[in-house]
Structure 1
């Protein structure tokens, strides 16, 4: 594994309580229409998650991802980063890229929305379906 490891949503929350920083790598559309994690109740050193798209609109890779991460995480060197996407796939790639850039990085299994049920609805698991704090759309 080329990053620090995978965490369940509950384990990710515990990391945030210990001072890790959440990085949501979904798209602006996902943040706006589906909602975002609310990390303030975790009470870590940094209450607000970072929002950095792994892919831009249309699925185009964000070539500025690492540069944007370094900019937004400035002053947080030494903190662990916890990466979150919709289902836990893009966040793996982001965790790998961040690890290569020198960060200790984790992936959140199940993502924000989790796996689809047999009807295609994302109600099975994931950050929001496990009852972790969320807020309505950002941006």
Structure 2
């Protein structure tokens, strides 16, 4: 789970993130995990909200180097739309916090007001005593919609 040292990015538990996405049709969820994670582990499914998750790698597999074009790719994916709320999710909440902080740092003082949120616990959550993810906490363990390819 993330440790948030910035008040500019707020942590939400997965159920809170889902509630926010349901209540605000202009909110956007960005999954910052790797292509391998999206393919083999699955990803949040927002189809019941008639929306899609934006997928942009924060770190590139396999060396896990930070994607230097992350903010640019996110801006391109938003295609000129400025959402009132951006939510970021990764496996357990660490990479997504770093991505959200990078976006926050890139916003100019005259940028439109936008709330930034990190989905604490992430998609798979923390390791359980058997060192497995996906059952203790996180998006999947909370029974929120997801799909696997």
TM-score relative to the length of structure 2: 0.85
Residue 49 of structure 1 is aligned with which of 45, 49, 53? 53
Residue 40 of structure 1: CA displacement?
A: 1.7
Residue 122 of structure 2 is aligned with which of 105, 111, 120? 111
Residue 68 of structure 1 is aligned with which of 52, 64, 73? 73
Q: Name the residue aligned to 2:47.
A: 40
Q: Which has the larger radius of gyration?
A: 2
What is the distance in 2 between the residues matched to 1:83 and 1:136? 19
Q: Which moved more, 1:48-57 or 1:68-77?
A: 68-77
What is the distance in 2 between the residues matched to 1:76 and 1:111? 25
Q: How many residues are treated as equivalent by the alignment? A: 134
Q: Which moved more, 1:14-23 or 1:110-119?
A: 14-23
Q: Name the residue aligned to 1:59.
A: 64
Q: Which moved more, 1:49-58 or 1:95-104?
A: 95-104
Higher helix share: 1
Is the aligned partner of 1:125 residue 2:137? yes
Note closer, same or farther for the CA distance 1:41–1:54 as it changes in structure 2 (3 Å cut). same
What is the distance in 1 between the residues matched to 2:40 and 2:101? 27
Q: CA RMSD in A?
A: 1.3
Is the aligned partner of 1:89 residue 2:100? no
